[in-house]
Structure 1
Amino acid sequence: MARGKLIVMEGLDGSGKATQTGLLCQYLESRGRRVRHIEFPDYREPSSALVKMYLNKEFGSNPGDVNAYAASSFYAVDRYASFLRFWRKDYLSGATIVADRYTTSNAVYQMEKTPREDWNKYLAWLQDYEYGKLQLPRPDLVLFLDMPTEISQRLLSGRYAGDERKKDLHESNVEFLTRCRRTALYAAEAMGWHTVSCSQEGAPRKIEDIQRDIREIVSQKL
């Protein structure tokens, strides 16, 4: 049987990935597809231990305290373990895999730590490492939910009921996230992601309107 399809929902923290991923899974199932929903990091599993240590600031209080290649490896190992243990069989037997984050998150969050002139070099390394050496599946479609940082921060504060102490290493650093949005938009153009605008006139767009855009892209591309 032919391998399945891999759809990735990417975006900064607070962009609505979990909500939109869930709605997309429901839509695809209603269209008769066999769907497997996965998300990264997989905090339920021991493979995410280094990711949790990193985000809990055990390696430093600033994202830059762990270089792009080391941090990328933390996340890549978690994905590798997840693929081998949980969704490889489904993928190889024709299921549609819908991922909330994937290799693409390294391009968003870790490429920022490298010099601007090295961004293409980093993207080439990332793809060779995860898709080549680790042999993880390449996505068939990447949807980047573009939410301006100032809006996503308001949404995150609401998620944590205003308790800023609950934010992790990335979420608590607005300057870092602002730079990550810039690298995300660069990666989206360089790697052929489909960017979905999640705001309008300084406010979040309606969930159903964003989902409509997502379904239209998925229908066209798959």
Structure 2
Amino acid sequence: MSTRGLFISFEGIDGSGKSTQVGLLADHLRARGREVVVTREPGGSAGAEEIRALVLQGDPDRWSAETELLLFTAARRDHLERLIRPALAAGKIVICDRFADSTRMYQGLSRGDLRATVDQLHDLMIGVEPDLTLLIDMDPAAGLARAKARKGIEERFEDFGTDLQTAMRAGFLALAQEFADRFTVIDGARTVEAVTADVVAAVDRKLT
């Protein structure tokens, strides 16, 4: 591994268990003596966390897809400048719960036909892709039920229902084919331990 560090993202529909796997992977890597930064999107920096509250709370129709795209891009730019780039430059492993692929799905496809615009903004303002993206694949109905059971305050996207979750799953799997060089798809409909074993194996391959 180069001194630049390693950038890992987790993707998946709501309730897929990716956030649990983020924490377990971080524990595994730290036990091996790695310096790890765990972060999330939207969020991860002070400014981006403020934007997170704007986009993840409120009525489902609070923002148009175009407005969401601009808000998410602004949050990601602040996140990149203030946390991701400095951590990678210091040789740390950055593990991010969602990154640009979620925007490609939520705003680019499922909330409007904006994929080309998403990619244009990404190229202009972000210009970074993860070294490895772990897609935790999950049945949409099961994932939504698990997500709703959390009873969190950030339920705006969950309130779009199963149709959005189904479109998201199909979109993520299509992205995994489009960016096959960095995506690894992992079956999330198993025990936490089985999923973690596959996650760790994929990361270990990247580190060797």
- The 2-side partners of 1:90 and 1:221 are apart by 18
SS of the aligned residue for 2:81 comes to helix
Q: CA deviation at 1:49?
A: 3.9
Amino acid at match of 1:90: A
Inter-partner Cα distance in structure 1 for 2:174 and 2:67: 21
Q: 1:100, 1:8 → 2: CA distance?
A: 6
Aligned to 1:89: 86
Return the letter of the residue paired with 1:66: S
Shift of 1:43: 7.5
Secondary structure at 2:39 match in 1: strand
Change (3 A) 1:43 1:187: same
Q: Distance in 2 between matches of 1:171 and 1:43?
A: 21
2:83 and 2:136 mapped to 1: Cα distance?
A: 26
**Residue 171 (str. 1) matches residue 158 (str. 2):** yes
1:148 aligned to 2:144? Answer: no
Aligned-residue sequence identity (percent) comes to: 25
Equivalent residue number for residue 197 of structure 1:
187
- What is the Cα deviation at residue 184 of structure 1? 1.4
Secondary structure at the aligned position of 2:74 is classed as helix
Q: Output one character per residue of 1:50-105: Cα deviation in whole Å (capped at 9) or x when no partner.
A: 44333334xx6348x612x4322211211211222233222112111111111111
What amino acid is aligned across from residue 215 of structure 1 in structure 2?
V
Asked if 1 retains the 8 angstrom alpha-carbon contact of 2:60 and 2:160, the reply is: no
- With 173-182 and 95-104 compared, the bigger mean Cα shift is at 173-182
1:30 is matched with which residue? 31
Matches within 5 A, 1:119-130: 122=115, 125-130=117-122
Instruction: Measure how far apart 1:42 and its partner are.
Output: 1.5
**Pairing partner for 1:185 from 164, 167, 173:** 173
Which structure 2 segments of 5+ residues have no match? Answer: none
- Verify: 1:158 aligned to 2:146, yes or no: no
Of 193, 209, 218, which aligns to 2:194?
209
How far did residue 45 of structure 1 move?
Answer: 2.9
Q: Work out which of the residue numbers 97, 102, 112 in structure 1 matches 2:99.
A: 102
**1: CA distance, partners of 2:154 / 2:97:** 19
TM-score (norm 2): 0.85
Please name the residue that 1:202 is paired with: none
Number of aligned residue pairs: give it.
Answer: 202
- Residues 125-163 of structure 1, C-alpha deviations (whole Å, 9 max, x = no match): 534432x32245321000011111111122123212xx9
Matched, 1:74 2:71: yes
Identify if the C-alpha distance between structure 1 residues 218 and 146 changes in structure 2 by more than 3 Å, giving closer, same or farther. same
CA contact under 8 A between 1:48 and 1:74: conserved in structure 2?
no
1:61 aligns with 2:60: yes
Task: Letter of the 2:195 partner, please give it.
Answer: I
How large is the Cα RMSD of the aligned pairs? 2.4
Report the TM-score when normalising by structure 1. Answer: 0.80
CA distance in 2, matches of 1:105, 1:38: 15
1:42 aligns with 2:40: no
Q: Secondary structure at the match of 1:99?
A: strand
- Report the AA paired with residue 188 of structure 1: A
